[in-house]
Structure 1
């Protein structure tokens, strides 16, 4: 029998340490191992999440601003001219669908380093062009 005042978990070197350990001690050891593992995973995720946030925030905020301007301009144009311009109304509805956050920030848009390609964000660029065309059509200043 192991020393009652010795190491609670027993020694890994003792050949029959697991057999001598009580059921409660085994459960406690397993709980501590699991908790330590989970704490390590959570800590790692928090560090990586913060690093990813720090690196990705400028890109995400820039895209968010651009998308906001596109949707806002199209919404204003739709409010003023949408009843008479079916194409404008359809484009506004499509823009709201295509420029949802999940589509704009999809992994497929970015390279393996999570950077935008050299041409920028193709869908946002496309919608900026469409929006500019409608603004030009109705002589709306985009500044």
Structure 2
């Protein structure tokens, strides 16, 4: 109205609204850096937490797997010589029984079936520490059969 327009519709600066306290606060909210930085930091924190969680889980799984493999290897290292010794003993028995195949043709096939490694290494012949519960029943049985054959000839 300073420029003389009757309805106050003048285009001069005097008709611009005054900037008040609320407008200043609105400008601060519209600040490009304020909201983006907070959102960006929040997303980075979330991404970092997700990444940390993923790596922690993978590290746990890797450690668990390594411990299991180590225990498995240790068990193998301890049990293999015992199993190998049983295998050698079975092999010797079978070779000696083979010598009597002309006298007892069925005996060698029966011995092969009963002295199969899956039967020799059955859990029932070992304790919880995989130690033998004494003389192996199947091997002892076939030793007796072989002794009888040797004594009968």
Q: What SS does the aligned partner of 1:131 have?
A: helix
Paired with 1:9 and 1:131, the residues of 2 have a C-alpha distance of 72
Superposition pairs of residues 60-79 of structure 1, within 5 angstroms:
60-78=83-101
Q: What SS does the aligned partner of 1:112 have?
A: coil
Give the alignment's TM-score, normalised by structure 2: 0.60
Gaps of at least 5 residues in structure 1 are 11-20, 139-143
Is 2:48 the counterpart of 1:9?
A: yes
Matching residue within 128, 134, 138 for 1:112? 128
Paired with 1:37 and 1:100, the residues of 2 have a C-alpha distance of 41
Paired with 2:40 and 2:144, the residues of 1 have a C-alpha distance of 78
Paired with 1:6 and 1:56, the residues of 2 have a C-alpha distance of 50
Asked which structure has the greater CA Rg, the reply is: 2
Gaps of at least 5 residues in structure 2 are 1-38
Equivalent position of 1:91 in the other structure: 107
Give the alignment's TM-score, normalised by structure 1: 0.64
CA RMSD, 1 decimal: 2.9
- Higher relative CO (Cα under 8 Å, sequence separation at least 6) belongs to 1
Paired residues, number: 114
